[in-house]
Amino acid sequence: MFKKIGISMAILLMSSNAAFADTMLPYLGAELGYDTGKWKIKDVTSVKTSADSNGVFGGLFAGLSWTLAPQFVVNTEIFGEESSTSISTQQINITGGTAQAKLRIKYSYGGSVLPGFKFTDIAMGYLRVGVIRSQFNLHQTIPPTGSTSNWGQNNATGGQFGVGVQANVNSSWGVRGEYDYVTYNSFTIFGNTISAHDNQFKIGVLYNFY
């Protein structure tokens, strides 16, 4: 997954240097964060189980920053993350009995637009509006008939909405802190319908290519 993200980042940076050298500022960064939320599993008998999710994640991002006016900035950004976010083991109904199930996120990637306002020459606040796609893995102690594995997976797409602050350490390096709310479209694994809503708190460091 990170190989694909790395290739996308390289293409983004090369295209920015060629087409937007006078107006766009490319940047690269890394981030760490804590993820907490509420996930729901509706099993094959339509019984719903809710559980708190939590975990940590880390990833890379790359973007282009466009200064519209002295105080207004718009960034476009792509990112990729590895995650340990999961819920505790839950008992769910299956056809003919019950089973233990545990759900987790393996990785995420996506793209965002970040409009920002500069408070000073070195600090700004910004919003994030984007699309995220995550791979969810479900371990079920008794797999459904026809499955050869206790593990099932599916990719879910969601919306990402956040707010953050960023400060420049010097002309090239910057740091930022951010909160994002993530809501996913419902999806199914092993016949269970899953919905997820997450809160992400993260810090990052970035390098600007002047």
Sign of CA dihedral 151, 155, 159, 163: positive
Per residue in 162-200, pLDDT (tens digit) is 999 999 999 899 999 999 999 999 999 999 999 999 999
Instruction: List the single range of 16-25, 49-58, 123-132 with lowest mean pLDDT.
Output: 16-25
Top-confidence residue, 159 or 2: 159
The per-residue pLDDT for 4 is: 52
Per residue in 73-129, pLDDT (tens digit) is 999 999 999 999 999 999 999 998 999 999 999 999 999 999 999 999 899 999 999
- Of 2, 9, 117, nearest to 59 by C-alpha is 2
Sign of CA dihedral 84, 9, 158, 74: positive
Pair of tokens at residue 104: 């987790």
Percentage with pLDDT > 70 across the chain = 89
Topology of the domain comprising 2-208: Porin (2.40.160)
Cα 163 versus chain centre, distance: 14
Mean of pLDDT values over 63-67:
93
Helix (H) or strand (E) holding 17: helix 2-19
pTM of the model: 0.85
The helix/strand/coil state of 181 is: strand
pLDDT(17) > 50: no
Domain parsing of the chain, residue ranges: 2-208
Cα 144 versus chain centre, distance: 30
